[in-house]
Each structure stands twice: as structure tokens, then as C-alpha cells.
Structure 1
């Protein structure tokens, strides 16, 4: 198709007339937003081809949309600051590459506006799938992916609008609490002195871990202390402050501590490092997270490990069967946790002394 008047620049009205499309549809294709408005790929291809034939200056964003396989696989996650999220990212990259995909991993620092912006960008680049990890409310992100026909899987924190894969937070926390209670009793300490510190109130993972903590007490027909649970986020500085308050009131560390993340556990290590060595030995410590440095600390710590390999494998399995038009509840896959090596790893046991 040649221009009817070589001296005149083509407009979106010319493209609309040539393709039998509305000017709105042409505009959406040319500015790269066609997918979120459910414009068919065939229509978008026809508009782009017509724009090129008419000599219209298609912007790079629209030109990059080939509407076929992009070869890209996306993942967003809060940060890389602990082994769990770093492990998710690394394992995701390995699995994506094994499928011939180029992985794109972006940290969003738990900022909802950044989560939306990054998701919009990845969807506009036609990622073939998107894993959304550690997002408190993934619903708007799931909706964007669904509108564009992009398979979307929630990882670590579930959502009702897409399939999800999470750790067995409740079962893992109960198992960890049981171990800590047994250790406290073996030392002659009352289990009512066990404290759960860290996490975000009303967040799925934290609430499930608190439920598991309470399940362990209920199973033994005992009650935790009224102030046994304290949620202050996951950061080390808040953990230090919470421990300082309790230490000032009691004159010692709590007899038992279950730290609800490796970053909160780092706050404990920072605080305890200022205390006399015997103070370190005065408490039983557990952490719902894992890092090998725990084996080198001057006090005993029992760590609960999440199975990163299994989580990512299950997420890809869900992506393979993803159906944006499916009705009914989306699947929720719960992956067991454990104290030992996961998925064939040969690391030493997680429980360290």
C-alpha cells in the first residue's frame, strides 16, 4: 500500500481508514497500550503493518511489540536482602533459562506504586509469564496481567485473582515452636516464656506463622503469655528496639525467641552482640528463615527453611496450565518447610549449635 499523497504526512486517521479500525484502537496500538485494552493481536499486527506502509513514524515501544513470543519471563519481588528472596530470584532465573526464556527480575521495595509501574512495564514488553513475589495485595497486578493475557502466579503471599504458591507457614511455625518448647523444658524454663517477634500484622505469612505458634501451645494444652506475639515489620532495627524494651523490663533476654524472618533475626544478633557472653546462652532461639551463617554464631539457633526450588517448580507448573478465562477459585499450592536440606540439596542440617 503506497501513500496517496507523498507530500503529506500520514496520520492515525489514514491508518484507521486503511485498516477499518477506530482511531482509538490505532492510537492504543501505536502508543504500546493495546494489550491492556484487549485489542486482538491480529488487529494490532495489521495496524502496525499499515503504519509502516504509510510511512507513519511508529514509536520504538510499539515497534518492539511483535505480538508473538517475546522470549521474556518476568518476576517482581520486594528485595534481595535475605536468602529467601535472593534464592527465589536465582532459582526463577535458572528455570526460565532452562525453558529458553530470558529472565527479568525487578525489586520493588514493597512500594505498591512501584509494583504497579513495574508490572505495567513488563506487561507492555509482552513477558510470557510474570511471577509476583511478596506483594501484600497482588490483586491489581493480577488484573493487569489477566487483561493482557499474561500468565501470572503469586509467590509467597497468595491472592484470589491468580494461582498462588506459598510455603506451609502454619505447619512450619508449629514444628519450629514445638522444637523450641522442648528445648526450653529441657533447660528447666517454662514454655510460656517463648516470644514470637517480627512480621506484619494481617499479612498472610505472618498470620499463618502466628497461628502455627499458637497451635503448638494448644496442642500441649498450655497458653502463651499475653504479650507473646509482637509484630513490628521485618527490619533489623525494629527487632533491636523490641528486644531492648523487653530486656530493660526483665533485665534479661526472653527465655525463648522465635524470630519471624532472617532480617529480624539479624536485629537479635546485633542486640545480643552488645551483651555479656552468658546473656547469649540464656535463651533458646529459633528463626522462620534460613542462612548458613547461623552455624557460626556463639549461641544455638534452630532455623526453619523454605523450599525455594519446590516453590518455583510449582509456580512454573501453574504457569504452564494457566487459563485467564477459567472460572472458579484459583489454585493455592502449599509447599512444606523443613529443618533439613530441601529438594535434593546437600547442605548440612538447618538446626545449628
Structure 2
């Protein structure tokens, strides 16, 4: 296919006529913006191939990204501040590189506008898959990926627009609550003083963990206190304030505390640091998250570890056999570990 007039340069009007596309569609494709405007990949490739055959000077960015594999794999996540999200990012990078892909990981600070903008940017760079971690409403991001023909997988928090891989929050919370109740009973304390602290009302992870917390009581034929659950957010300062308020009302620490995240746990540690040492031994603490440094805290701590390796492995399986109609939810079991053994393993992780 060639222009009938060898002196005349091909234009976007020629490409539009040959491909049956509008000039605006041709322009967006040639400028490398087709994914952002939800133009089908098949249409984009047809336009680029026609432009090549007509001798049109195609934008090299558009041409390089659309006519060949990019070799890029993307992940968005809220932040890197805790070991869980940092572990997801590191494990994702390792798995991507083992497949010959170049990983791109971007933190969004849980800002929905940033999540959309980052997703559009990654799609414009033609990532071959996108893992969406810790996004409270991933559906708009899934829809962008679907329009661009890019597989997307939700991690940590599920969504309705793509398959999801998350920790089994309910069973995990049941298990750690049961451990804490046993410790309270062994100390001669009533279990109904056990408090669940942190997270957000209406959020999937928090709601399923609260359900697991209540399940553990129900299985024993007992009930937690009416004010046992306090969803004060994922914020150390908020957790510290909530603990201070409870401590003021009781005149002491609650005898049992289950912190919903490592950030809430940070608030607890900050608050405990203001108390005399003898007060530290009056309570048992659990945390739905894990950090090896907890092994060295001077009070009783039980931590639940989420299986980052399994989450990422399952996500790559879904991405590599991606079905656009798949909306499955894969629950990955959590578990307890020996703190000092895990601390040693973490040395290798952090190298």
C-alpha cells in the first residue's frame, strides 16, 4: 500500500480513510494516547500498521509501545511504610524479573485521583499486566485496564472488576483472637475485656477481621463487650489517642488488645512508652500484621503473618491465564511463625 502521488506525504486523513477510523482516533493512536481514551488495541495496531505502510512518520514512542511487547509489569499500592506492602512490592519485582519483565511499582497514598492518574500513565506505557494492591475501590482502575486490553489483578482488597487475591482475613482474625482469649483465661482475666482496635468501618479487610474476632467469641459461647470494636483508622496517632481514652476510662490498660494493622500497633507502642514498665505486663497484645522487631518488645505480643509469597504467586497465575470474565476471589491463609526464626529469614529478604 503506498500513496498514489510519490511527492505527496501521507496524512492522518489517508490513514483514517484506509482504516475506516476517524481522524481524531488516528491522531490519538499516533500520539501514543489510545489506551487513555479507551481505543481498542486491535484498532490501534491496525492504524499503526497502516501508517507504517503509507510511509507516515509515526511517533516513535507510539510505534515502539504498540507494535511490540513492552516487557513491563506494573503494580500500584498505597505506600511502602509497612512490611506487608513493602513485601508485596519486593516479591512482585522478583517474580516479574524471573519472567523477563521489568517491574514498575508506584505508591499512591490511597488517593483515588492519584490511583486513576497512575493507572492511566502505566497503561500509556503499555504495561503487560497491572497488579492493584490495597485500593479500596479498584473497579475504576480495573475498567481502565479492561478498555486497554491489559490484565489486572486486585491484591489485598477485592473488587468487582477483576479477579482478586487477598488474605483470609476472617479465619486469620478468628485464629489470633482465639490465641488471645486463651492467654487471658490462663492469666485469670475475663475475655470480654479484649479490644479490637484500628481499621475502617465498611472496608473489606476491617469488616472481615471484625467478623473473625466475633467468630472466636461465638465459638466459645461467649460475646465480646458492646464497645469491644473501635475502628479508629490506619493511623498510629489515632490508635494512640484511642488507647489513651480507654486507659483513662478504665484507669489502666485493657487486659487484651488486638491491633488491626502494624500502623495501629505503632500507636500502641508509642502509648506504652509513656507508661511505667510494670504496666506493660498487665496486657496481652495481638496484631493482624507482622514485623520481626516485635520479638524484642518487652510485653506479650502475638502477630499474624500474611503470606506475601503465596499472594503474588496466585496473582501471576491469574494474570498469565487471564480471563476478562473472571471475577474469582482467592483467599490465602495466614499463619503464625516463630518470631526469632522469621527475623533471621528477614535478614535475607532485606539484602
Do they superpose with TM above 0.5?
A: yes
Q: Report deviation, 1:75.
A: 0.4
Q: 1: distance between equivalents of 2:61 and 2:208?
A: 43
Find the counterpart in structure 2 of residue 347 from structure 1: 342
Find the counterpart in structure 1 of residue 52 from structure 2: 49
| Contact kept? 1:25, 1:39, Cα under 8 Å | no
Q: 1: distance between equivalents of 2:9 and 2:67?
A: 26
| Contact kept? 1:193, 1:224, Cα under 8 Å | yes
Q: 2: distance between equivalents of 1:72 and 1:217?
A: 47
Q: Report deviation, 1:331.
A: 1.1
| Contact kept? 1:194, 1:256, Cα under 8 Å | yes
Secondary structure of 1:339's counterpart equals coil
Counterparts in 2 of 1:341 and 1:50: CA distance versus 1, 3 Å: farther
Q: 1: distance between equivalents of 2:20 and 2:9?
A: 19
Find the counterpart in structure 2 of residue 109 from structure 1: 109
Secondary structure of 1:205's counterpart equals helix
Secondary structure of 2:32's counterpart equals coil
| Contact kept? 1:139, 1:160, Cα under 8 Å | yes
Secondary structure of 1:337's counterpart equals coil
Q: Report deviation, 1:74.
A: 0.4
| Contact kept? 1:15, 1:50, Cα under 8 Å | no
Does residue 304 (structure 1) correspond to residue 301 (structure 2)? The answer is no
Count of equivalent residues: 341
Find the counterpart in structure 2 of residue 331 from structure 1: 328
1:1-353 mapped onto 2 (5 Å cutoff): 1=2, 4=5, 11-17=11-17, 19-35=19-35, 36-40=38-42, 41-49=44-52, 53-55=55-57, 58-59=58-59, 61-324=61-324, 326=325, 330-340=327-337, 347=342
Counterparts in 2 of 1:335 and 1:228: CA distance versus 1, 3 Å: same
Q: TM-score, normalised by structure 1?
A: 0.91
Q: 2: distance between equivalents of 1:99 and 1:17?
A: 40
Find the counterpart in structure 1 of residue 348 from structure 2: none
Deviation by residue 1:277-327 (Cα, 9 ceiling, x = unmatched)? 011111110000000000111111000000000000010111111122x3x
Q: 2: distance between equivalents of 1:145 and 1:299?
A: 46
- Once superposed, what is the RMSD of the aligned Cα atoms? 2.2
Q: Report deviation, 1:201.
A: 0.8
Counterparts in 2 of 1:227 and 1:15: CA distance versus 1, 3 Å: same
Q: Report deviation, 1:17.
A: 3.6
Deviation by residue 1:191-221 (Cα, 9 ceiling, x = unmatched)? 0000000001111111000000000000111
Q: Report deviation, 1:30.
A: 1.8
Q: 2: distance between equivalents of 1:251 and 1:3?
A: 91
Q: TM-score, normalised by structure 2?
A: 0.91
Runs of 4+ in 1 over 6 A off after TM superposition: none
Q: Report deviation, 1:67.
A: 3.1
Q: 2: distance between equivalents of 1:21 and 1:30?
A: 13
Q: Report deviation, 1:5.
A: 7.8
Deviation by residue 1:17-54 (Cα, 9 ceiling, x = unmatched)? 45553213212202323242215143132244257x23
